[in-house]
Amino acid sequence: MRPRPRRPSDPADDDDGPPPPKPLVTGVASALSPLVRRILAPNPGVMTGPGTNTYLVGIDEVAVVDPGPDDDGHLDAILGCGGDRIRWVVCTHTHPDHHPLTPRLAKATGAEVLAFDSRDGLEVDRELRDRDVIEATEFRLRAVHTPGHASNHLCYLVEEERLLFSGDHVMEGSTVVIAPPDGDMAAYLDSLERLRTMRPALRAIAPGHGHLIEDPKAKLTEYIEHRLARERQVLDVLRELGEATPADLAARIYVDLVEELVPRARQSVHAHLRKLAADGTATAPDLDDEAATWRPRLSS
């Protein structure tokens, strides 16, 4: 038999590691696994990266994870992919890039709306808690409560594929913002550690923004180490300055930030300081006041 001609794109030619990830293209469903398809919403930005990923789970009965922004084209793309087989609409949390399309999608399909709670304009039919399960004919989708980025943040595990929808708890290509008081750094680190030690171990993470993450444990370890290194840096600079506001510290730690991200950096430093306060190594007159002056506490 004549050998198959090889093209530059032929996977057999690729000796340099895994093939590149499937491109993130707006409005087109892309199959990521036997059960899961992804549609990118048209809302790219500094905070959303390429845009919000909407996922469809299942073939005969479909759950939509994070419908995304209220956009006609995105609604058409989701309906074109799942149509009247859409039974559930689930949201990871209630930030505005993840849920606003929910009522129109639910109205068009009759789907049940589920999330941790009704908040920020989202109205749920049923509240989910940690370990609650959506049972479909082909899959089980389990809620995993992961507070940190938002107190009502849920990840969702497709048990059959050990694939986790991580919303904004873990992203690919952009940094997760922890903005107090709803954002909580100590809770965030605990939630990361919980995913890292989950049994059976995760096979892949499908984030709310960016590409599929195929090495979950390495990514989660990197996330935890990055935050702990930043925490040490915040404490070191605070000790060096003697006293400082979150804005002072952010200006020292985050250099060359684009203007749009400066408030986020300040919030992030504030989140670290609140964790340091809980750990007993820093203090301020009002822990919730972002403009407060902080001081290190001498360890006893």
Summarize as ranges the residues that interact with Zn ion (CB under 5 A). 97, 168, 208
The answer to whether the beta carbons of residues 32 and 212 sit under 8 Å apart is yes
Nearer to Zn ion, 208 or 210 (CB): 208
Radius of gyration of the CA atoms of the chain, in A? 21
**In the β-sheet with 30-31, what is the strand arrangement from edge to edge?**
30-31, 36-40, 53-57, 62-65, 86-90, 112-115, 126-127
**Which 3 state secondary structure label does DSSP give 252?**
helix
Report the residue number, 87 or 99, with the smaller CB distance to Zn ion.
99
Which of 102/245 has CB closer to Zn ion?
Answer: 102
CA–CA separation, 300 vs 298, rounded Å? 6
CB atoms within 10 A of CB 140: 12
Least separation, in Å, of the C-beta of 96 and Zn ion?
Answer: 9
How far apart are the C-alpha atoms of 285 and 294, rounded to whole Å?
8
Task: Find the shortest distance in angstroms from Cβ 106 to Zn ion.
Answer: 20
Tell me whether residue 46 or residue 218 sits nearer to Zn ion (CB atom): 46
Least distance to Zn ion, CB of residue 98, Å: 6
Q: How far is the CB of 143 from Zn ion (least distance, A)?
A: 18
Nearer to Zn ion, 97 or 161 (CB): 97
Q: Measured from the CB of residue 116, what is the shortest distance to Zn ion in angstroms?
A: 15
